[in-house]
Amino acid sequence: MSKLIPTEKFIEDAERFRRQPAIMKKIAKTLRLLEENPLHPGLHMERIINDPTAWAVRVDQRYRLSLDPEKMMLAGNPDWSAPLRLLRLLDHDDLYRHPR
């Protein structure tokens, strides 16, 4: 089980959805899956090409969540059991332009 550590920007992004219960439910499900198993296939995790350490997971078809694993293994791969820093929660295109 991974510990999730939200950044200030992530919290600000999430606040914008507070009055949208359908999206908040999807965000909660994504966070639960991420906490239980960051490699769950339903998250559709992928690298963000323009950032050396950031990854993105799918909230729904429109929104994505970016994260940064806090620890790397010797081979250079992320240690998915280590804490995960939640970076942003944005529209797909915006997130891939500005993952942090």
3-state SS, residue 37:
coil
Confidence (pLDDT) at 94? 94
pLDDT tens digit sequence for 27-74: 999 999 999 999 999 999 999 999 989 999 999 999 999 999 999 888
- The separation between the first and the last C-alpha atoms of the chain, rounded to the nearest angstrom, is 24
* Average pLDDT, integer, range 10-21: 96
> How far apart are alpha carbons 61 and 91 in whole angstroms?
9
Please state the pTM of the whole predicted model: 0.92
Give the per-residue SS3 of 39-95: CCHHHCCEECCCCCCCEEEECCCCEEEEEEECCECCCCCECCCCCEEEEEEEEHHHH
Confidence (pLDDT) at 72? 87
Residue range 4-97 forms a domain whose CATH class is alpha beta
